[in-house]
């Protein structure tokens, strides 16, 4: 198994690397617009523009720019943001906690609530709870997260002024964004864990466990759950990149000061250093989470370990 994980790790590094490279060249190379043009007023002289270019190292060839970027990156220097006079790295890192606050909570909610409801639905099939849960998850999967966010804002923020609708602050600021972000995930996990558990509970070993006199609760939570959560873990790996997109949307709507908010703004302003940092960050995040999923997988299913 060690070799398997090592292979995945190296592959992850390769992925991060290729992502950074592709993004770098596409952004700086294929882009018609010039960051300096955006930063300056329209009547700026060409000399001024050239000065600015030199300052940001944009006058050199792409490959040289790349080389400089890599060299500096290894030393932890990711340049300065074009828009703010701050190092790009710190600009991004100071926003990370805010984003994590939303995404991690959403992930937990999705998985926990989804699985609990899914398992109960599977065990009490065709009960009122089950049918209600299924309807809910069907609807939850049919609405994009921004629509949920807007509906929530409309009802809880505007019509019945219970929750604040923008900015980061105490718990009440937190609730609407998290619900918006996690609803789709909750719905998906309900569906997934329900169908997975139903399949699992039909297995012979479940009957066998009852025959041995294992109490029902244990049969479901040990025998059933361990097998039933395997597809859930697989999907987890696909859900996490979705959270990235989700955070961009939700942070924009709720004016939440996280990385997602920064992404949109930076790309449209051609703030290359910041974009680079964010891309690296997201890449690392996704690779790490895939690795985590792989490890979890191997931990739960010993058949993988013994390959």
List binders of other proteins among 104-143 (CB under 8 A).
Answer: 125-126, 138-139, 141-143
Looking at beta carbons only, is 112 or 207 nearer to other proteins?
207
How far is the C-alpha of 227 from the C-alpha of 11, rounded, in Å? 28
Q: Which stretch binds other proteins (CB under 8 A): 30-38, 93-101, 103-111, 171-179?
A: 30-38
Considering only 189, 287, 293, 294, the residue that binds other proteins (CB under 8 A) is 287
Q: Does 27 bind other proteins (CB under 8 A)?
A: yes
**Which of 54/139 has CB closer to other proteins?**
139
Contact between 212 and other proteins by CB under 8 A: the answer reads yes
CB-neighbour burial class of residue 176 (10 A; exposed 0-12, middle 13-18, buried 19+): buried
Cβ distance 243 to 103 under 8 Å? yes
User: Per CB under 8 A, does 57 bind other proteins?
Assistant: no
- Identified binder of other proteins from the candidate list 105, 252, 291, 292, rule CB under 8 A: 252
Query: What is the smallest separation between the CB atom of 47 and other proteins, expressed in angstroms?
Result: 27
| Contact code string over 221-250 relative to other proteins, x by CB under 8 A | -xx--xx---x---------xx-xx--xx-
Q: Which stretch binds other proteins (CB under 8 A): 69-77, 84-92, 174-182, 208-216?
A: 208-216
Give least dist CB 306 to other proteins, A. 7
Q: CA-CA distance, 39 to 84, in Å (whole number)?
A: 11
**Smallest distance, Å, CB 201 to other proteins?**
8
Q: Select the residue interacting with other proteins from 22, 54, 96, 162 (CB under 8 A).
A: 22
Sole binder of other proteins in the list 267, 288, 292, 295 (CB under 8 A):
267
Mark the segment that binds other proteins (CB under 8 A) among 39-47, 99-107, 111-119, 297-305.
297-305
Report the C-alpha gap between 158 and 293 in whole angstroms.
Answer: 40
Q: What backbone phi and psi angles, to 5 degrees, belong to 232?
A: -65, -40
Asked if residues 277 and 86 have their Cβ atoms less than 8 Å apart, the reply is no
Q: What is the DSSP string of 67-114?
A: HHHHHHHHTT---B-SSSSSBHHHHHHTTHHHHHHHHHHHHHHHHHHH
Q: Is 282 in the site for other proteins (CB under 8 A)?
A: yes
Show the DSSP H helices in the chain as ranges: 2-29, 35-39, 46-55, 62-74, 88-93, 96-123, 128-140, 145-152, 171-201, 204-211, 216-218, 225-253, 259-268, 272-300, 302-305
Instruction: Say how many residues touch other proteins, by CB under 8 A.
Output: 76
């Amino acid at each position: 198994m060690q070799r398997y994980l090592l292979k995945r790790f190296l592959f992850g590094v390769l992925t991060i690397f290729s992502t950074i490279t592709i993004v770098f060249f596409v952004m700086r190379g294929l882009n018609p617009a010039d960051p300096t043009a955006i930063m300056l007023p329209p009547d700026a002289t060409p000399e001024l523009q050239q000065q600015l270019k030199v300052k940001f190292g944009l006058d050199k060839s792409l490959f040289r720019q790349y080389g400089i970027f890599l060299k500096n990156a290894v030393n932890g220097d990711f340049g300065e943001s074009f828009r703010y006079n701050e190092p790009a790295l710190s600009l991004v890192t100071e926003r990370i906690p805010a984003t994590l606050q939303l995404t991690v909570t959403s992930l937990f909610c999705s998985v926990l609530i989804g699985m609990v409801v899914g398992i109960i639905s599977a065990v009490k099939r065709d009960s009122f709870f089950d049918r209600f849960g299924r309807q809910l998850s069907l609807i939850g999967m049919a609405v994009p997260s921004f629509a949920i966010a807007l509906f929530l804002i409309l009802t809880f923020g505007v019509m019945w002024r219970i929750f604040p609708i923008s900015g980061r602050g105490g718990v009440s600021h937190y609730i609407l964004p998290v619900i918006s972000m996690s609803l789709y995930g909750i719905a998906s996990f309900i569906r997934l864990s329900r169908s997975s558990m139903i399949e699992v509970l039909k297995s012979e070993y479940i009957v066998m466990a009852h025959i041995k006199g294992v109490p029902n609760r244990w049969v479901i939570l040990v025998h059933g759950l361990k097998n039933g959560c395997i597809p859930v873990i697989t999907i987890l790996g696909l859900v996490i990149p979705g959270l990235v997109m989700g955070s961009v949307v939700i942070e924009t709507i709720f004016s939440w000061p996280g990385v997602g908010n920064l992404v949109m703004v930076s790309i449209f302003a051609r703030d290359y250093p910041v974009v680079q940092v964010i891309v690296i960050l997201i890449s690392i995040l996704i690779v790490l989470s895939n690795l985590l999923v792989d490890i979890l997988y191997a931990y739960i299913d010993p058949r993988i370990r013994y390959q």
